[in-house]
Structure 1
Amino acid sequence: MHSLPYWRLSGFYFVYFAFVGAFAPYWSLYLKSLEFTSFQIGVLMSLLQVARMVAPNLWGWLADHTGRGVRIVQVAAGMSLLAYLGVFAGESFGWLFAVMALMCVFWSASLPLMEAVTLRHLGEGTGHYGRIRVWGSVGFIVSVIGLGYLLDIAPIRALLWVVLGLKIGVLLFSRCIPEPHVIPHHGDQAPVWDIIKRPHVAAFLAAGFLMAAAHGVYYTFYSIYLVDLGYSKGAVGWLWSIGVLCEMAVFLWMPKLVAASGLRNILLASFLLATLRFLLIGFGAQWLAVVVVAQMLHAASFGSYHAASVAVIHRFFGGRHNAKGQAIYTSISFGLGGTAGGLWSGWMWEPAGPALTFGVSSVATLLGFALLLWRLQLRD
């Protein structure tokens, strides 16, 4: 632990999730300003998830094969930055589709590889992952609140320049992180497909798909929904930040939560509380108090769920399979699940309405809970 590059890793997470805090809540507003339809917005906002279906597995295989995960993150961050510059050259749907698709293919490498790098640096101290990851939440809050106020007084196009600066920051921080030492694991000789086919692993990955699919409408239309209900962009920023503040508390308390409850119970509780959260958003977003409670539940639907999931994947896929394991988890959950969620929410949003669309999300997380209850067994 004495050689842990704590601040360099934390800095990367800070800038990376500051980008997410700019992109996830506000990019759909930029696309709406270009007069795209809700389906077109859903398609464009799903491109990152589409890229995550395949690209992370290629990056993960390359990282495990070469043992140079940090170097691959650096190259991918640079190429993603170059691709992003295309947003300044055109505004048509076809052009932005091509630019964002190329950007996302490279961008999708960053987080799963950095998760593997961080856990390798932590070694036996994986319970301290939250102390590093919490800085990502801080970056998200700074970005989402600051941009909320900025976009109340500045044109939406200012978002493009903020995102550019954050992508440059990701590239710079990636160049400061040392390569970790890979510790041999007893499962190194087993083919990765044999691990995936184990019933408890398959159940976990399927539940991750359902959780990510449930969040598709949230990441695509939540800001638009609140603005249409009369909330200011500054208020939208604060509401997003409430969820992340609660998420931060979970990251810091995670070692104690795991010791008290175990990873399996944490995951089960996360899925149940996510179900409640989507019902509150869908049927009560016109009341500020209900929205605040729903945002506090982000601590479960993302915070405790993500921290527990990263630890479970690290346990399932060790040694030379570590980067591939994180990539597979990213591809199946955020990739396949996120794509499905973004596309069906874009298809449902106008004809079915927000309540029914968020209601479908609650059904998905309830199914994920049932699947984990049935199949997932962990030795805590």
Structure 2
Amino acid sequence: MMERVPYIRLSGFYFFYFALLGALVPYWSLYLQSLSFDAATIGLVMATLHISRIFAPALWGWVADRSGERMRIIRLGAAATFVIYLLIFWQQSAVGIALVMLGYSFFWNAVLPQFEVVTLGHLKEQKHRYSQVRLWGSIGFILAVGGIGVVLEYIDIIWLPAILLSLIGLIWLTSLAVPEPERPEQLTQAPVSLLLLLRKPHIVAFFAITFFVQFSHGPYYTFYSVLLEDVGYSKTAIGLMWSIGVVAEVAVFAVMHRLIDRFGLRQIMLMSLVLCVLRWGIIGASPESLMLLVIAQCMHAATFGCLHAVGIALVNIYFTGNTKGRGQALFSSIGFGLGGTAGALCAGFLWEAGGVELTFYAASAAALCGLVLAFVWIWPEKAQ
């Protein structure tokens, strides 16, 4: 059981953090489209959400490892996100919107990697229950994406920025309730050299895999809603399609600790990457088929749920002591930062050049690169 763990408060933070993503990722591109931006511009603007992930998590991870005061950094980051986001209400140009997004995401993207460390710190010997806390983030995403899809049938999408502001405020308030975890490791473990860890081939391969996985998700996060709208789906239906993927994600998070015990991290990663290759190929080949799109959305359980849980577990194995915060930060910076930015940028230009087929086939090829690297280099039992 989890008697001494602030389960509700940890889960609440994940709930609102990913509810914000559920409002932002599926619908922000539609908001930008409502401002008459073309596909390349939408790709560039959406990429600003990922750009700060390249350097912000690493910077704040270094500060957190040095100070040990992760919750203070998280609270400051959430507050700064709220204040900077207010500027969005005075922006109509692509440049203005992109600059505000870049500004608030510098703090927002630094929050989650450190909260992952806080969560694992509270769980202590119950780290295998991480997925049972994290699944509340997926539930928040589902409720937001489904609920906002229905709401946008009745109000203009121009109200979306106000909805996002309310969720950012709730993230900030929730962060105030989460206590700092105990830090016994700093008292018992000698400092570890991060540079020495980063020279190990399996760790280099691991970060390359995270890059390719998030690169492959670039077209999905940037243009999936646009694709569905072009095919003829309503905003309610678009919300439901996104929800299907995250319901599958919730289901796999709920049993993730059992899957890891039964199959191991390596086998779960390899199978999930196979499904990642197939998922993007299905969307690229058959965007008009409802049945195939639903099947592809169910694969989100593997392409995000399993791969994220395995990634968190591998960071916890590969990085110890005073490198944990920076390890989580690099996981975010290289994957969601570099990979997400490159994926969004390439998606914009590929969409203009070749449409849905070329864009999602490129995503499938990126996932295949990750699969090859994982097959050769990911052996968690040999990590030490």
Q: 2:283 aligns with which of 281, 284, 293?
A: 281
Contact preservation (8 Å) 1:217, 1:358 = yes
Contact preservation (8 Å) 2:13, 2:174 = yes
1:155 aligns with 2:156: yes
| Most deviating of 281-290 and 186-195 | 186-195
Distance in 2, matches of 1:236 and 1:130, equals 26
Q: 2:372 aligns with which of 370, 373, 376?
A: 370
**CA deviations over 1:173-228 (Å, ceiling 9, x no partner):** 00000001123278752311111111111111101000000000100000000100
1:230 aligns with 2:249: no
**CA deviations over 1:99-150 (Å, ceiling 9, x no partner):** 1110110111111011111011111211100110010011000000001111
Contact preservation (8 Å) 2:276, 2:303 = yes
In structure 1, what is the equivalent of residue 88 of structure 2?
Answer: 87
Q: TM-score, normalised by structure 1?
A: 0.98
Distance in 1, matches of 2:19 and 2:376, equals 37
Q: 1:290 aligns with which of 289, 292, 298?
A: 292
SS in 2 for 1:194: helix
CA RMSD of aligned residues (A): 1.2
**CA deviations over 1:327-370 (Å, ceiling 9, x no partner):** 01100111000010000011110211101110010011111011
Letter in 2 for 1:365: A
In structure 2, what is the equivalent of residue 307 of structure 1?
Answer: 309
Query: Any gaps of 5 or more consecutive residues in structure 1?
Result: none
Letter in 1 for 2:271: A
Aligned residues: 380
SS in 2 for 1:35: coil
Letter in 2 for 1:174: S
**CA deviations over 1:11-56 (Å, ceiling 9, x no partner):** 0000000000000000000011111121111111111211000010
Letter in 1 for 2:361: G
Query: Any gaps of 5 or more consecutive residues in structure 2?
Result: none
1:47-126 paired onto structure 2 within 5 Å = 47-126=48-127
Q: TM-score, normalised by structure 2?
A: 0.97
Contact preservation (8 Å) 2:48, 2:101 = yes
Percent identity between the aligned chains? Answer: 43
SS in 2 for 1:329: helix
1:241-256 paired onto structure 2 within 5 Å = 241-256=243-258
**Alpha-carbon spacing, 1:248–1:308, altered in 2? closer, same or farther (3 Å):** same
Structure 1 runs (4+) deviating above 4 angstroms are: 185-188
**Alpha-carbon spacing, 1:86–1:378, altered in 2? closer, same or farther (3 Å):** same
Letter in 2 for 1:14: F
Distance in 1, matches of 2:350 and 2:189, equals 43
C-alpha displacement of 1:304: 0.5
**CA deviations over 1:256-304 (Å, ceiling 9, x no partner):** 1001100111111111101110011111120111110000000000001
Letter in 1 for 2:33: K
1:212 aligns with 2:214: yes
Contact preservation (8 Å) 1:281, 1:291 = yes
Letter in 2 for 1:209: F
